C-alpha cells in the first residue's frame, strides 16, 4: 500500500577506518541468510510504498530478495534488516540495520497460475542517501567506484540515461521504449481508490516501466493514475512524472508504472 512519509534531507556521511584484508574477504562473500527485510521505495517526496520480504542472500555490501512489485534499476531504496553484527558497517548495537541501497537488477519471475514476482539485487551505498535524494526520489543513479576507506560502500552518481548499454545483459539494460499506439484507459483516483475522472487514450511510446500518453487531463506531476489495458487484462498503478505539449499541439503525460511492469510480450 502507499503511505505518506515525511523525512528530512541528510548529507551523505563519510566513512572512515580500515578493515583487515581477511575480514574484508569474509564480508564480501554472499551468504544465504533468509532474514526478514523491510524494503521502502519512495515514489515522490511525500509518498512511499514498502514491502516486507526475506533475503535470498546478503553480504556487507549488498543483498538479493524478491518483491511483489518492480523497482526500476538505478532507483535508491532503504532496507531495514536485523543484520548480524559482523556484516554491518555502522549501528553495530542497534536491533535493526537501516541501510540505503541502489537497485542493480530487477528481473520478473513468472509462475503459472500466480502473480508475477521480481528478483531484486541491490548494492549498499551507506547510512544516508545523496543530499538531494529526498527532493528528487525518482532520480536514477549508477555506481561509480567503491569506497576503499574502510566501510566499502559504493560511490554513486546520477545515471546517464542516454549511454549505450547494448553490451550489457538484458536485465541490466535500460528499458526500451516502443513508439507504438497501445490503447489504454486512464483513471484518476482518490486516496480511497475511487475513480474521479476517466478517459480512453493511446500511447505515444511505451516501455516495461512507463509510457508517454496523449491526454486531456490537466493534472500535476505526482498525481496517481490507474492505467488499464483491456487487451492485456491489466490495471497498473502509475504516477505522473511530467507533461508536455507536442509540436502538434496535443498534450502528453509521462507516466511511471508503480506496482507492476507492462506486459510487452505481445508488442516486442
What pLDDT score does 94 carry? Answer: 96
Identify the architecture of domain 2-164 in CATH: Roll (2.30)
- Domain 183-257 CATH superfamily: predicted glycosyltransferase like domains (2.40.10.220)
> What's the rounded Cα separation, in Å, for the pair 245 and 29?
51
pTM (two decimals) = 0.70
What residues contact residue 207 under an 8 Å CB cut-off, 6+ apart? 175, 176, 177, 178, 262, 264
What pLDDT score does 264 carry? Answer: 80
| Domain boundaries defined on the chain | 2-164, 183-257
Q: What are the DSSP calls for 91-138, one per residue?
A: -TTSSSEEEEEEEEEEEEE--TTS--EEEEEEEEEESS--TTTTT-TT
- The model's pLDDT over 151-193, given as tens digits with 9 standing for 90+, comes to 557 788 887 655 545 445 555 555 677 899 999 999 987 766 6
> What's the rounded Cα separation, in Å, for the pair 188 and 223?
8
Averaged pLDDT for residues 196-221:
91
- The model's pLDDT over 3-62, given as tens digits with 9 standing for 90+, comes to 444 333 333 333 334 444 444 444 567 889 999 999 999 988 888 899 999 999 999 999
> What's the rounded Cα separation, in Å, for the pair 254 and 211?
6
Q: What are the DSSP calls for 175-195, one per residue?
A: PPPB----EEEEEEE-TT--E
Task: Give residue for cell 526475506.
Answer: 54
Most confident of 81-95, 106-120, 173-187, 190-204: 81-95
Helix or strand (DSSP H, E) at 24: helix 21-28
Amino acid at each position: 500500500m502507499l503511505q505518506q512519509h515525511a523525512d528530512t534531507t541528510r548529507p551523505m556521511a563519510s566513512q572512515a577506518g580500515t578493515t583487515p584484508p581477511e575480514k574484508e574477504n569474509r564480508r564480501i562473500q554472499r551468504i544465504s541468510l533468509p532474514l526478514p527485510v523491510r524494503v521502502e521505495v519512495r515514489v515522490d517526496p511525500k509518498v512511499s510504498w514498502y514491502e516486507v520480504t526475506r533475503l535470498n542472500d546478503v553480504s556487507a555490501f549488498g543483498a538479493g530478495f524478491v518483491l511483489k512489485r518492480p523497482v526500476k534499476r538505478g532507483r535508491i531504496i532503504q532496507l531495514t534488516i536485523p543484520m548480524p553484527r559482523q556484516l554491518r558497517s555502522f549501528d553495530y548495537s542497534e536491533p535493526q540495520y537501516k541501510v540505503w541501497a541502489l537497485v542493480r537488477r530487477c528481473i520478473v519471475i513468472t509462475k503459472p497460475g500466480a502473480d508475477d514476482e521480481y528478483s531484486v539485487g541491490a548494492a549498499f551505498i551507506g547510512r544516508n542517501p545523496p543530499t538531494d535524494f529526498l527532493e528528487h526520489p525518482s532520480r536514477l543513479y549508477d555506481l561509480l567506484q567503491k569506497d576503499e576507506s574502510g566501510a566499502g560502500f559504493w560511490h554513486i552518481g546520477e545515471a546517464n540515461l542516454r549511454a549505450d548499454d547494448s553490451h550489457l545483459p538484458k536485465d541490466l539494460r535500460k528499458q526500451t521504449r516502443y513508439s507504438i499506439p497501445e490503447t489504454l484507459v486512464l483513471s484518476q483516483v482518490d486516496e480511497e481508490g475511487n475513480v474521479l475522472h476517466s478517459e480512453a487514450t493511446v500511447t505515444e511510446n511505451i516501455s516495461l516501466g512507463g509510457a508517454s500518453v496523449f491526454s486531456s487531463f490537466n493534472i500535476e506531476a505526482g498525481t496517481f493514475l490507474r492505467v488499464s489495458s483491456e487487451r492485456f487484462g491489466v490495471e497498473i498503478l502509475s504516477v505522473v512524472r511530467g507533461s508536455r505539449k507536442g509540436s502538434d499541439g496535443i498534450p502528453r503525460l509521462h507516466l511511471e508504472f508503480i506496482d507492476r511492469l507492462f506486459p510487452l510480450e505481445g508488442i516486442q
